[in-house]
Amino acid sequence: MTTPTHKPLVFSGMQPNGNLHLGNYLGALKNWVKMQQDMNCIYCVVDMHALTTWVDPKELTQSIREVTAAYIAAGVDPAKTILFNQSQVHEHAELAWIFNCVARMGWLNRMTQFKEKAGKNRENSSVGLFVYPDLMAADILAYKATHVPVGEDQKQHLELARDIAQKFNNDYNVPDYFPLPDPVITGPATRVMSLRDGSKKMSKSDESDYSRINLTDDADAIVQKIRKARTDPNPLPDSEKGFEGRPEAENLINIYAALADGTREQAIARFAGRQFSGFKNELAELTVSKISPITSEMRRLLGDPAEIDRILKAGAHKARAICAPIVAEVKRMTGLVG
Ligand code: AQP
């Protein structure tokens, strides 16, 4: 746990590298909205992370606005919470460079997300993709954030951010300067899986659009995707144990539980012994009822891109007021500034 010397502060972000999907929503965004009710929060569109794999410049600009619109449509309130895009606050890049020099090659070599994303093409991956977790650590620690709501897949990167914070504090003999941030991984759907393959996480970069529900999908698309979601021939089980070896069934039950704001146990009890066809109808109906209002609000917001840009600029101004003094202090500690 973080040391009590640091005030609780929440930081999290998402990459604008395509449409946000149900995994981003249930794994992270839904919790962000809850946390802003009783904590100070900073939510970022981490656009520099999106450059780690090739993205068309026009698409990136559009995606930054879409992700911002998705945050707001899902309930992030820019009047209460700081909302901005990373590249407008250059302190993130400055601190990331310092952290590149603190983190060890061996630590980054262990990151499973790099291995998955680089795949067989490791030698041809960008250096940015390799050092992505150092930039993520800088995003969080530039604000001395203590809590980071993320999906299960980001847990290892958070552990690395803690290692970097600890090593910086030791190397420069500043005990407790940076907090050791805690991941906040909650809810019944911390790892939403692909609708086509229960062993792979739902992801923006999956080639098959049928593998995910995008926050921009209309009701018909959502119903079709859930109807076509891969399942097995048996009815739904009546206990936790019955999900063993049935990852697709487990994934759909978790999605239902999270969307219904209930527990996994409640969802299992409700659908025990039922056929997938009936369950899928109810799941589709619930998904449409929760996602469609977000989609239409996103569309409305995207009708005024200048207003989105204005919100991001105002948020960047507030973000810099917090992180600039911290990064200036780090530059003094490291001797870059006398
Ligand atoms: N499938 C998921 N289930 C639960 N949470 C998820 N998150 C992502 N996928 C799932 C959470 O969403 C937040 C934002 O993630 P990101 O945009 O920074 O990048 P990512 O984790 O790499 O997301 P994607 O969709 O899988 O993108 P690609 O395809 O580019 O790799 C994070 O909190 C993440 O945990």
Q: How far apart are CA 139 and CA 87, in angstroms?
A: 11
Q: How far apart are CA 325 and CA 50, in angstroms?
A: 26
Give, using CA atoms, the residue closest to atom 15 of ligand 1.
Answer: 14
pLDDT at res. 1: 62
pLDDT at res. 5: 84
Told to judge if 201 belongs to the known catalytic residues of this protein, a careful annotator would answer yes
Q: How far apart are CA 217 and CA 196, in angstroms?
A: 17
- With pLDDT > 70 as the criterion, what percentage of the chain qualifies? 99
* Domain boundary assignment for the chain: 10-190+304-333, 209-299
- What pLDDT digit, counting tens, does each position of 2-22 carry? 556 899 999 999 999 988 999
Told to judge if 204 belongs to the known catalytic residues of this protein, a careful annotator would answer yes
Q: Residues with Cβ within 6 A of ligand 1?
A: 14-15, 17, 23-24, 27-28, 150-151, 153-154, 190-192, 201-205
Q: How far apart are CA 75 and CA 15, in angstroms?
A: 18
Candidates 162, 173, 145; CA nearest to 107 is: 162
State the DSSP H helix or E strand holding residue 149, giving kind and residue range, or none if neither.
Answer: strand 147-149
Question: Ligand 1 mean position to 189 CA, how many Å?
Answer: 12
10-190+304-333 and 209-299: identical CATH topology: no
Catalytic residue among 30, 144, 201, 225: 201
Is 68's pLDDT higher than 90? yes
Task: For the domain covering 10-190+304-333, report its CATH number.
Answer: 3.40.50.620
- With pLDDT > 90 as the criterion, what percentage of the chain qualifies? 96
Candidates 168, 115, 110; CA nearest to 137 is: 168
Mutate to test the pocket of ligand 1, among 24, 115, 197 (most ligand atoms within 8 A of CB): 24
Is 121's pLDDT higher than 90? no
pLDDT at res. 3: 58
For the record, the structure tokens of 148 come out as 């980071």
Q: What is the pTM of this model?
A: 0.95
- Environment class of residue 101 by beta-carbon count within 10 Å: exposed (0-12), middle (13-18) or buried (19+)? exposed
Catalytic residue among 34, 155, 167, 204: 204
Give, using CA atoms, the residue closest to atom 14 of ligand 1.
Answer: 14
- What pLDDT digit, counting tens, does each position of 216-267 carry? 999 999 999 999 999 999 999 999 999 999 999 999 999 999 999 999 999 9
Is 215's pLDDT higher than 90? yes
pLDDT at res. 4: 67
What's the topology of domain 209-299? Tyrosyl-Transfer RNA Synthetase (1.10.240)
